[in-house]
Structure 1
Amino acid sequence: MIVPDFSSRFKENVQKNWYKFSRNKLSVIGLAIVLAVILTALLAPFIAPYPEHAGKFVDYQNANLAPSAKYLCGTDVIGRDILSRIIFSFRGALFMALVVLAIAVPVGVLLGLLAGYFKGTWIDTVIMRITDIFLAVPPLLLALAIAAVLEPNLTNAMIAVTVMWWPWYTRMVYGMASSLRNEYFVIGADLIGAGRGHILFKEVLPNCLSPIFTKMALDVGWVILIGASLSFVGLGEQPPTPSLGQMVSDGSRYMPDSWWMTIFPSLAIVLIILGFNLLGDGVRDMLAKGEKGNE
């Protein structure tokens, strides 16, 4: 009896996927940026030059200082180090993206699977009409409306973004599930008596995972951008907790003289979005069927 060598097979798959991912050098750069942001957020108390500046701290003697060797990104109007606050703000930004996608993706995928598999039935009609209603409203406007009704804080900001995010996954999975329901392997599973759950999660869902993972990687940056937009108008994290959007908003009142208060937090937002977008491109290439090198 021959026992399959699962470790060698796993290693081979990892090497193959890494080869496909690394063919795009920009994706490797994106991965490096994402890892750097994540590590910076996790190690913020040890990396930040002045960790105490991320909380209730005032130092008017060093207020409104331009970038220098002591304060690489300058200080704000009450003397807090901009760089330290940017580093700590990564925590809230990544936490929001994690929570929003952890809720929106399963909900959207499940609804999309149900609507796609039961296409033409009342289940399809109800789910997709509700989805269309949400998609008809501009996402940022919907998030602002929901957040404005709730008390302004990080939790409610995440609720607002989650409510506007799941329909995109429902619409995407709906299209794929509608097509897959007519494939021979799905029809065959139905004919041999497989349950609905088995068909949905063992037959249909695995064939939808590549686009889902790609979209998730791309969405992290955009969730962070929406969260920053809510913070910019005062509907996200509240002071003294550092937030990229709030820092941009506060600094914009002192432009162009104190440009560093706005420019550096804005560059941090751009860096995060760029990193996750490049990573998403690499994930798409890695999960694509077939290798370009063999075509």
Structure 2
Amino acid sequence: MKFIKTFLNYLIDPRVKFKGFKNRPAPPDLAKNELGNAQSLAWYQIINPPLVLGGIVLLGLILILLFGPQWATYDPYITARSVLPHFDMEKSEMIAPPFAPSDIYPLGSDNFGNDLLSLIFFGARVTLVAGAYITLTRVIIGLILGGLAGWFEGTWLDKVITGASVVISSIPLLLSSMIMIYALDIQKGLWVFVVALSTLGWTEISQLIRGEFIRIRKTLYVEAAEALGLTKIQIIIRHAIPNVFSYLISLSFLEMGAVLLLVAELGFLSVFIGGGSRFSSDPFAPGFIQMVEVPEWGAMVALGTPFFRSATYMVFAPALAFFVSIVGLNSFGEGLRRLFDRWPFSTAIFLRKRIILIIAIFVACTAFIFQRTSPLTSYQRVSSEF
């Protein structure tokens, strides 16, 4: 128990003396052997518990993104394992979904009899790619607005951006997100969530970037660049942005964890991508049945919420997927922060022309994933068999 307590304390605060690992080598002295000890120091800095834990989870999420549909037992777009309630004469019992976890349903089934594990594999692409796009848009907006506010501190531009940030932050994000999603029409799909959650979620990043730009603007190398005749735009691109880029990288993973948490909260309130459809099975009954056209983790939470007491596993399966993803992303972001604090490196490489190639590859990969995720792909595969 003492070892576990010490380990958890180290995860929370890396400055704690970690006596549990008695054989952990101290950072080597680079003066003895510059090349060999530099490599040892690099590994010493890279291997920290949050970074390793987050890296393992992140690798698992990437594998699910790429091969998840192949691991599923069936395609929910073209096969609906709906099971009508009926009486089994052999077992002398009533058979009705949802079904508890078993060999056929490893994580259980929903209220229609669909396998939850297959829905999680297919829904991972929609949920995680949507979270990545929302995070990327938030970071870009926060970098631009926060950078302008910080560099032109005290001007009307700073006051406008800061005022807008204060107004948006004064309204609870969950409530304002619901209002904007329904205002843009939830039935229109993924882009509504990307626009709504990005428009309302940039404020914290903007405030952090503003503070960093104010600090950088007062440094000596910025004053030297101004003395050399560089324009403000050149100084921002060559000196300011590279000095916050490593900070943005670690912040992006933490922000994506926050985005997934918000998506889960919205799902609990029955606000999810596509909105689904509702119909009443009995015109004389007050209740209704909710159906989901697009497999997505938030939608699974929404469908399982009414069965929280009678079939807890319906909520547990997507909640576990959210929990593991959020913990992994937060751990990876924290691990990168510790790494950058101990071992600073130049990020100017990201601002060269090759960044255009990196962005193009990212857009192509996400477009491929979305294409493979859409129902059209499943329908084309079925039609080709005829």
TM-score of the two chains, using structure 1 as the length reference? 0.87
Name the counterpart of 1:114. Answer: 148
Q: Is 1:265 paired with 2:318?
A: yes
| In structure 1, C-alpha distance between the alignment counterparts of 2:43 and 2:180, rounded to whole Å | 41
Please give the residue correspondences for 1:16-27 in structure 2 after superposition, counting only pairs within 5 Å: 19-22=44-47, 24-27=48-51
User: CA offset at residue 156 of structure 1?
Assistant: 0.6
| In structure 2, C-alpha distance between the alignment counterparts of 1:181 and 1:246, rounded to whole Å | 46
1:251 to 286, 304, 317: 304
| In structure 1, C-alpha distance between the alignment counterparts of 2:124 and 2:110, rounded to whole Å | 18
Name the counterpart of 1:140. Answer: 174
User: CA offset at residue 290 of structure 1?
Assistant: 4.7
User: CA offset at residue 282 of structure 1?
Assistant: 0.8
For each residue in 1:270-292, what CA deviation from the matched residue of structure 2 results, as whole angstroms up to 9, or x when unmatched?
A: 1111111111111111111459x
Name the counterpart of 1:218. Answer: 254
Name the counterpart of 1:99. Answer: 133
Contact residue 218 and residue 277 of structure 1 kept, 8 A: yes
Contact residue 54 and residue 84 of structure 1 kept, 8 A: no
Contact residue 66 and residue 75 of structure 1 kept, 8 A: yes
Secondary structure at the counterpart of residue 240 of structure 1: coil
Note the residue ranges of structure 2 that are not aligned, 5 or more in a row.
Answer: 1-36, 85-95, 275-291, 345-386
Say which structure is richer in helix. 1
| In structure 1, C-alpha distance between the alignment counterparts of 2:41 and 2:324, rounded to whole Å | 28
1:164 to 167, 182, 200: 200
Q: 1:13 to 1:57 in 2, by over 3 A?
A: farther
Secondary structure at the counterpart of residue 140 of structure 1: helix
Name the counterpart of 2:26. Answer: none
Contact residue 120 and residue 296 of structure 2 kept, 8 A: yes
Q: 1:290 to 1:127 in 2, by over 3 A?
A: same
Q: Is 1:237 paired with 2:273?
A: yes
Note the residue ranges of structure 1 that are not aligned, 5 or more in a row.
Answer: 1-11
| In structure 2, C-alpha distance between the alignment counterparts of 1:77 and 1:101, rounded to whole Å | 32
User: CA offset at residue 143 of structure 1?
Assistant: 1.1
Name the counterpart of 1:28. Answer: 52
Q: Is 1:60 paired with 2:83?
A: yes
Aligned residues: percent identity?
Answer: 28
User: CA offset at residue 26 of structure 1?
Assistant: 3.5
Contact residue 45 and residue 342 of structure 2 kept, 8 A: no
Contact residue 232 and residue 249 of structure 1 kept, 8 A: yes
Name the counterpart of 2:90. Answer: none
Name the counterpart of 1:70. Answer: 104
1:174 counterpart letter in structure 2: R
Matched residue count: 279
1:215 counterpart letter in structure 2: L
User: CA offset at residue 33 of structure 1?
Assistant: 0.9
| In structure 1, C-alpha distance between the alignment counterparts of 2:308 and 2:155, rounded to whole Å | 57
Name the counterpart of 2:378. Answer: none
2:300 counterpart letter in structure 1: M
1:188 to 197, 205, 224: 224
Please give the residue correspondences for 1:148-159 in structure 2 after superposition, counting only pairs within 5 Å: 148-152=182-186, 153-159=189-195
Q: Is 1:82 paired with 2:105?
A: no
| In structure 2, C-alpha distance between the alignment counterparts of 1:255 and 1:118, rounded to whole Å | 51
The alignment's C-alpha RMSD in Å is: 2.3
1:38 to 62, 68, 72: 62
Secondary structure at the counterpart of residue 71 of structure 1: coil
Q: Which runs of 4 or more aligned residues in structure 1 lie more than 6 Å from their structure 2 counterparts after TM superposition?
A: 12-15
Secondary structure at the counterpart of residue 43 of structure 1: helix
Q: 1:18 to 1:222 in 2, by over 3 A?
A: farther
1:48 to 63, 67, 72: 72
2:193 counterpart letter in structure 1: A
| In structure 2, C-alpha distance between the alignment counterparts of 1:243 and 1:74, rounded to whole Å | 16
1:143 counterpart letter in structure 2: S
1:86 counterpart letter in structure 2: I
| In structure 1, C-alpha distance between the alignment counterparts of 2:39 and 2:185, rounded to whole Å | 46
Secondary structure at the counterpart of residue 125 of structure 2: helix
